């Protein structure tokens, strides 16, 4: 909670719910990452918070951009980003969207299967491509499932095929899972990448880049290792597996740049009990799972929450959103407590909500407007 | 799949993904419900599909409307609905939104706790109010949790208190769970309501209405009992528990009116395998969990899916959406199969997607536009 955000909320008193993002925090996070991982090129994962204000600031600071769609390419280009600083990092792309990106000058693409490679060869000839490999992602709060990436032996064959199709087999990417707190996962992943470098070298394909993905965390309810420790883990893994022949490195931070920069202000709409024998209060906020807090799905991300009555005695609560959807419950099993003195109409602040909130918000579910955001 | 929708898709060839809703089906569903449950006043649950086209048609047919928010009140009023035909059915309301509704002429409100009753007494004096009671909802595909409603002894006290606060204690509501297929649940619920009528009568409060909520299903992957069987279950329960002194009845269908009326057309973006030893194909569509198919959460709603190659041999698939979010998987555990001959670029049609799709869609997640809809 920065003084700048506190002052803004005090002076402007915006209608709730809304997110306020302190751009100074984003800048400091970016500069911190650059300082601790100077060898890595930063590609900001635009999906984390696609605000033009953030993209404009980061491009001025020298950042590159990882985009998921044609829409995000347009956003970057119209915010002053050069096409050569864009990576089309989604492994799932329509061929006409690849053609669009190529026509705009984008020359760096992700893939994880043969069909995607064929689209790239046709619509983005000669481009640098990197193959995403599967990771198991133990330890991540928002685990990545098996949706992206392929097994390592398939990756080897695909990178050879990329060359044969006239593409430039540039490197390997992986993702250790968003909000990853087990630092040893980087060593395992980089080890796999290094094995691929060796295997490809043996057949005359020289890979030159390792894309370490995202996974650096924002600070939610649990304390997390600082960015320095992450940087150390990454660099140890790189030197461990590549010696003094370290390839180009890309990181794709999203959450770790913008998460902590945002505060969501919300209002208590209702407090109730379900029966006379029930100890737990239900606290209903004017924001919920469909209004921007989608990452509370399965109570995965546990936000820190402040009230104006902190310090008073607390008791257990279930936290829920304002819609008529019974699935719109934020926390029922995560043992949240709130002050006994909490009242209907109180303002509540949800911390570290700068990432994956505004753009997740439903367009008009239950007749509620999408989540508003301010960038200061 | 109606001929009208097939013709529209053939002639217009709209950009995918999009939903096409056949208004004739909505009308027929409405008239069917009226025919089979003539004693019940229909309050269309606007949240199921808040399209003005649907609201205008239903109001012309004589429907009433169940709204969740101020936004939905405005939508109804601007679509020609009279305020006296609106029920503010969300139990979680800001007091200023109650005041707004009251000023517009809304006189029917839901509540399930004392704090909400006090807001209503202050902001909507003299209005008819109904208390929502908790149900366990065995058998529902999209179960309702304990978010709404209170225990029956608390409901009794609250309805007495409603009278003491100058409100009109009108009745009782419950919800057996969306997509409820266990017809005996209605008997249990109506039995509870009847007990409340008796208990209140003993202290001089005459309830006059039972609100049976929604829960009538649309047709997804499993076959479901026809609307007649639901109507029978409801009327048997009512006569069983109320004899020939049947109170006013309200039903709040949403899904059962509009679900089957919509078809979502989507395109296959990518088909891949994760490794050489894997039998399962991953099929990525241009719509996913954040583009309108939120009800696939935990694979709760299992849509029927048509391809242009149906009839060919099939094999197991995982179905996923187009975003970089690893949680954007539609079906991984529900044993979906698709034709072996399926190709990238093929059109795929997802049936019964007229309810809870367009308005659930994220505003701009991953740079993708919200789901488009056509009403024909």
List the single range of A120-124, B114-118, B141-145, B207-211 with lowest mean pLDDT.
Answer: B141-145
Least confident range from A150-164, B166-180, B256-270: namely B166-180
| CATH class of this structure's domain A50-253 | alpha beta
Q: Is the pLDDT of residue B96 over 60?
A: yes
Which residues of chain B neighbour A364 with C-beta distances below 8 Å?
Answer: 50, 71, 359
More confident residue, B177 or B30: B30
Question: Which residues on chain A are in Cβ contact (under 8 Å) with B370?
Answer: 363
Lowest mean pLDDT among A351-365, B218-232, B309-323: B218-232
CATH 3.20.20.10 region(s) of chain A? Answer: 50-253
A324 is catalytic: yes
Q: Choose the mutation target among B89, B144, B326 for the interface with A, i.e. most A CBs under 10 Å.
A: B326
For residue A19, the SS3 value is strand
Among A18, A131, A137, A324, the one annotated catalytic: A324
Tens of pLDDT, residues B160-198: 999 999 999 999 999 887 667 788 888 999 999 999 999
Residue A170 pLDDT greater than 70, yes or no: yes
B interface mutation test: which of A19, A92, A331 has the most B CBs within 10 A?
Answer: A92
Mean of pLDDT over chain B: 93
The predicted pLDDT at position A180 comes to 72
For A269-325, write each residue's pLDDT tens digit.
Answer: 999 999 999 889 999 999 999 999 999 988 989 999 999 999 999 999 999 999 999
Q: What is the residue-averaged pLDDT of chain A?
A: 93
According to the model, what pLDDT value does residue B146 have? 86
Q: By C-alpha distance, which of A127, A76, A78 is closest to A98?
A: A127
Query: Is the reported ipTM for this assembly greater than 0.95?
Result: no
Residue ranges of chain B assigned to CATH 3.20.20.10: 23-257
For residue B217, what pLDDT band results from cuts at 50, 70 and 90? Answer: confident
CATH topology of domain B260-375: Lyase, Ornithine Decarboxylase; Chain A, domain 1 (2.40.37)
Which pLDDT does position A18 carry in this prediction?
97
B 46-85 residues with CB < 8 A to A: 46-47, 50, 67-75
Contact A77, A59 (CB under 8 A): no
Main-chain phi, psi angles of A222, to 5 degrees: -85, 150
Are residues B149 and A367, on separate chains, in Cβ contact within 8 Å? no
Residues of chain A with CATH 2.40.37.10: 260-375
Question: In whole angstroms, how far apart are CA A318 and each of A221, A293, A333?
Answer: 16, 15, 8
Tokens describing residue B232: 């029978």
Q: What is the pLDDT of residue B137?
A: 58
CB A107 within 8 A of CB A124: yes
Query: pLDDT by residue (tens digit) across A91-114?
Result: 999 999 999 999 999 999 999 999
pLDDT at A143 over 60: no
Asked whether the predicted pLDDT for residue A142 surpasses 90, the reply is: no
B44 CB near a chain A CB, below 8 Å?
Answer: no
* The pLDDT of residue B77 is above 70: yes
CATH fold of B23-257 reads TIM Barrel (3.20.20)
Q: CA nearest B151 in A: which residue?
A: A275
Tell me what the mean pLDDT of segment A334-343 comes to.
97
Residues of A in contact with B68 (CB under 8 A): 323-324, 366-367
Lowest pLDDT segment from A68-82, A257-271, B132-146, B330-344: B132-146
- Cβ of B360 within 8 Å of Cβ of A360? The answer is no
Indicate the range of A192-206, A228-242, A303-317, B116-130 predicted with least confidence: A228-242
Whole-angstrom Cα distance, residue A153 to residue A196?
8
Contact B270 A116 (CB under 8 A): yes
Task: Provide mean pLDDT across the span A355-366.
Answer: 92
Contact A340, A323 (CB under 8 A): no
pLDDT higher than 60, residue B143: no
| Contact partners, residue A245, CB within 8 Å, separation at least 6 | none
Contacts of B272 in chain A (CB under 8 A): 112-116, 150
Distance separating alpha carbons of residues B213 and B237, to the nearest angstrom: 14
Q: Which of A68, A145, A361 has its CB closest to that of B324?
A: A68
- B71 and A368 in contact by Cβ < 8 A? yes
**pLDDT beyond 60 at B224:** yes
- What is the percent of chain B with per-residue pLDDT over 90, rounded to a whole number? 83
Per the CB < 8 A criterion, the answer to whether B294 and B305 are in contact is no
| Model confidence pLDDT, tens digit, residues A5-58 | 999 999 999 999 999 999 999 999 999 999 999 999 999 999 999 999 999 999
User: What's the pLDDT at B209?
Assistant: 98
């Amino acid at each position: 909670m920065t003084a700048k955000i506190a002052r803004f909320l005090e002076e402007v008193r915006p209608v709730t719910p809304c997110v306020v993002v302190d751009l100074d925090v984003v800048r400091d996070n970016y500069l911190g990452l650059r300082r601790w991982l100077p060898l890595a090129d930063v590609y900001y994962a635009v999906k984390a918070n696609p605000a033009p204000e953030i993209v404009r600031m980061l491009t001025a600071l020298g950042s590159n951009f990882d985009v998921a769609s044609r829409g995000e390419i347009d956003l970057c280009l119209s915010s002053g980003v050069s096409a050569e600083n864009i990576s089309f990092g989604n492994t799932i792309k329509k061929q006409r969207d690849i053609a669009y990106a190529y026509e705009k000058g984008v020359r760096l693409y992700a893939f994880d299967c043969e069909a995607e490679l064929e689209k790239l060869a046709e619509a983005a000839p000669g481009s640098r491509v990197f193959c995403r490999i599967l990771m198991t992602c133990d330890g991540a709060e928002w685990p990545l499932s098996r949706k992206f990436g392929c097994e390592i032996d398939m990756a080897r064959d695909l990178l050879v095929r990329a060359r044969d199709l006239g593409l430039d087999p540039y490197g390997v990417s992986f993702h250790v899972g968003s909000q990853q707190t087990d630092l040893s996962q980087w060593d395992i992943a980089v080890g796999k990448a290094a094995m691929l470098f060796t295997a490809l070298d043996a057949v005359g394909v020289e890979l030159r880049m390792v894309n370490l993905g995202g996974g650096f965390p924002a600070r939610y309810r649990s304390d997390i290792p600082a960015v320095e420790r992450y940087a150390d883990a990454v660099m140890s893994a790189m030197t461990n597996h590549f010696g003094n022949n370290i390839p180009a490195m890309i990181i794709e931070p999203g959450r770790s740049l913008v998460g902590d920069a945002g505060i969501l202000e919300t209002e208590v709409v209702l407090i109730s009990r379900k029966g006379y024998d029930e100890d737990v209060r239900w606290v209903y906020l004017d924001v919920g799972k469909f209004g921007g807090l989608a990452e509370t799905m399965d109570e995965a991300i546990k936000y820190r929450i402040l009230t104006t009555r902190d310090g008073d005695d607390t008791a257990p609560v279930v936290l829920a959103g304002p819609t008529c959807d019974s699935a719109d419950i934020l926390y029922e099993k995560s043992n949240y407590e709130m002050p006994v003195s909490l009242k209907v109409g109180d303002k509540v602040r949800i911390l570290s909500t700068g990432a994956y909130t505004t753009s997740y918000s439903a367009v008009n579910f239950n007749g509620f407007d999408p989540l508003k955001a301010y960038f200061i």
